Structure 1
Amino acid sequence: MKDLTTLVLGGTGDVGEGIVRSFLKHGASVIASSRTQTKLDALRDYVGDIATGTLKGAMGSLDTPEAAEALRDRIGELASRIDVIVAVLGGWSQGFPITGVGFDQWQGIVRNNLTTHFLAMKTFVPLLAPERGIYVHINGQSAEGPHPGAGPVAAMSAAQRSLATTLAEELRPSGMKVHELLMPPINTRRRINHHHDRPEWPSPEEIGDYIAHLIGTDDREVVHWIEPKKG
């Protein structure tokens, strides 16, 4: 990944921070987006021990088309070319059957877990380097099959997968690639601190390493299942 410019949308989140850390270790130039400067500062502290690569931050959101375009313009001031975009956006919500989900809660889940991904694709794919740009979409394995107690989030995951695989077909004639990564639960720092981690689950840095490997090959597969480690 050396000499590549990468954009990690959601780079200060629980999974995004590990991907940023991995990319820096591989020598990439990384731009990480976040809603707040506080989180960007915390990310710099978290990766401060890494001597390779470069890190720049861009503050903004994907709440509306106008906000997404403003973030795009800020990122455009930081780099004239983006080789790789990683979208690690949204969050998890569970505990209610579908019949118990309030309408406001439903709208919030759609906005955070689907609209953000639509706006990320629509706004940032045009920044990718022609013919060789790569878009990596981070998703959960909840995209496949029923998920009682987390139906709305799982539904958004399935819709995300549809968007990503459709984007891959639409971009195929251009030579650009899309990778859809379906993840098991991930051992984030937050999960570890709450003792909810498991040894078979990957770390965020390992996800970044997996992406770095994909980028270093001519892998044309769109959907990738990240399996838990065998113990």
Structure 2
Amino acid sequence: MAAFAGKHVFVAGGTGIVGSAVAKEVLQQGGKVTVSTRSQDSFNAFKGKLPAEVQGNVFGVVADIRTEEGVKKIFDETTKRAPVQHVVACIGSWWQGGKLVDQTLAEFNQGMLDRVTGHFLLFKTFIPYLDKQQGSTYTILTGDAGNDYVAPNISLICVTSGAMNGFSTAARAEHKDSQVAVSDFRIHIMVYPKPDSEFPSTETHTMGNDVIGKAIVNSIIKRSRDRIDVRVRKDAHELAK
């Protein structure tokens, strides 16, 4: 039997580079998937690229995950469709907008809104529900820019990544004994929306999203409660086995 047969997975940011790979992998393993997006066009484009045999098992919710109203809409529509066993939070996009001293207060606050607030609202909303679902998981996707200035002009990525590292620490500690398994899947390398096979075998710090998607899904199956680090490409390949 496919690992996700009879299961319903919600992927926040499920039309993005990593989220779409997670959603596709779950679908291919027999599950149903609901993804959130702020654009119907993005959902339609994502769905259109999926194999025809799984397109009937993917659903979209158009909502702003950065607002309480948006997250309530996501929760209501997703749980009404079918009970949810697993949530994967892939929220926030890359940014290289300059140094800290060059940002306005509005830009700083926007960065926090775009990359942290949605995580907080989603977690606060879904965790009490998942804690009543046997075998449930909640996976937080994070990066390591909070500990290392990995590229030029990523000041606000460093700030928000650091905030998310703290968020993950608190979330996992506070739910270590609960029914829902909370994990942090931390990606230290660049992931691109194309097959990993297109990258040279010697490449270590960039990779395709298909292998990352498989690795994340494997961590869900194992119901990890750990912080899982993908520091180099081979880490993802090991986790995807």
Q: TM-score, normalised by structure 1?
A: 0.86
- Distance in 2, Cα, partners of 1:50 & 1:18: 16
2:166 counterpart (134, 154, 162): 162
Cα distance per residue 1:17-39 (max 9 Å; x no partner): 12111111122211111112111
Taking the aligned partners of 2:175 and 2:56, their CA distance within structure 1 comes to: 28
User: After the TM superposition, which residues 80-159 of structure 1 pair with which residues of structure 2 at under 5 Å, given as runs?
Assistant: 81-128=83-130, 129-147=132-150, 149-159=153-163
- Structure 1 residue runs of 5 or longer lacking an equivalent are 190-194
Question: Which amino acid counterpart does residue 170 of structure 1 have in structure 2?
Answer: E
Mapped to 2, the partners of 1:62 and 1:51 lie a distance apart of 25
d(CA) in 1 for partners of 2:156, 2:136: 32
Residue 46 of structure 1 pairs with residue 49 of structure 2 = yes
Q: Does 1:210 align with 2:215?
A: yes
CA distance in 1, matches of 2:21, 2:223: 24
Cα pair 1:11 1:20 within 8 Å, conserved? yes
2:192, 2:207 within 8 Å by CA — same for their partners in 1? yes
CA contact (8 A) 1:7 1:84 kept: yes
Give the superposition deviation at 1:142.
Answer: 1.0
In structure 2, C-alpha distance between the alignment counterparts of 1:131 and 1:172, rounded to whole Å: 15
Q: Does the 8 Å CA contact 2:86/2:137 hold for their aligned counterparts?
A: yes
Q: Residues 181-228 of structure 1, C-alpha deviation per residue, up to 9 Å, x if partnerless?
A: 111110224xxxxx9xx94323222122112211222544x2111132
Q: Name the count of aligned residue pairs.
A: 221
Does residue 30 of the first structure (1) align with residue 30 of the second (2)? no
TM-score normalized by the length of structure 2: 0.83
Name the SS of the counterpart of 1:138 in structure 2.
strand
